[in-house]
Amino acid sequence: MVKSLHVEILDDDYPEGPEEFSVAILKVELQERGYDFTIKENGLQIDQPPEVGNTSVVRIIIMKNDNAEGIIEFDPKYTTFKVEEDVRAIAIPVVRLHGTYGLVTADFVSQSSSALPGGVSYMLHGSSVTFQHGQNLSFINVSIIDGSESEFEEPFEILLTGATGGAILGRHLVSRITIAKSDSPFGTIRFLNQSKISVPNPNSTMILSLVLERTGKLLGEIQISRETLYTVLEGTVGSRI
């Protein structure tokens, strides 16, 4: 009355979404001999051959497996890098490894001991990055604020904190960005005198005072190198004093 049909499902290491196939009964035959299906009595067929029943198709679905939704992490080439303040904006690549099945997202936050978020030093756009079905690359967009203040290097970090949609997080979960030193935190040196000063040719030693000004930030002790150029008829020569 009952027989079993065995179907072997092969296991592999490839991330895959749901896969389905069907097993259908196409034909049945009676294997024994000696039956004559043409004989009838009173208009009725005495022997009847086997027939395919109503439920002749079985649909089998192999569920998604082997992290089909993927593993999300930062592109290893962008786990540490430096940008200039005037770059204005950066896009940090986030990759989806192995599977790309379905819509998934990854949440992120930032942290820093010196760079200030929220439009002071930098600004994150959003708090999650989205991957559509079949997509394996997305970006976290960050605006770098170009201020007029003199600043040392300002490092900050972006951390991937969680994933949704069945995806999981990988190994590279932190991207460290350094905003380079900007706007001369040690100050700017310039002459206060006119750029061209005319004096008479003296008969004796003359002392000419040139005034230097240090503007902006006044951090640290600095040393200034001086060079004097003499202009003569034949051209210009220089000597360090």
pLDDT digits (tens, 9 = 90+) for 221-232: 878 777 766 655
Residue 187 is encoded by which pair of tokens?
């100050």
3-state secondary structure the chain: CCCCCCCCCCCCCCCECCEEEEEECCCCCCCCCCCCCCCEECCEECCCCCCCCCCCEEEEEECCECCCCCEEEECHHHCEEEECHHHCEEEEEEEEECCCCCCEEEEEEEECCCCCCCCCCEEECCCEEEECCCCCEEEEEEEECCCCCCECCEEEEEEEEEEECCCEECCCCEEEEEECCECCCCCEEEECCCCCCCCCCCCCCCCCCCCEEEECCCCCCCCCCCEEEEEECCEEEEEEC
pLDDT beyond 80 at 112? yes
- Compute the distance between CA of residue 64 and CA of residue 20 in angstroms, rounded to an integer: 10
| Residue 22 CB partners (closer than 8 Å, separation 6+) | 57, 58, 59, 60
Q: Is residue 222 within 8 Å of residue 186, measured between CB atoms?
A: yes
Q: Is the pLDDT reported for residue 105 higher than 90?
A: yes
Is the pLDDT score of 37 beyond 50?
A: yes
Residues paired with 169 in a beta bridge: 72
pLDDT surpasses 90 at 153: no
Question: What is the pLDDT, as a whole number, of residue 239?
Answer: 40
**pTM for the model:** 0.57
The predicted pLDDT at position 91 comes to 94
If we measure between CA atoms, which residue out of 175, 203, 161, 183 comes closest to residue 80? 175
Name residue 135's beta-bridge partners.
Answer: none
pLDDT of residue 156: 92
Note the maximum CA span of the chain. 152
Radius of gyration of the chain (CA): 40
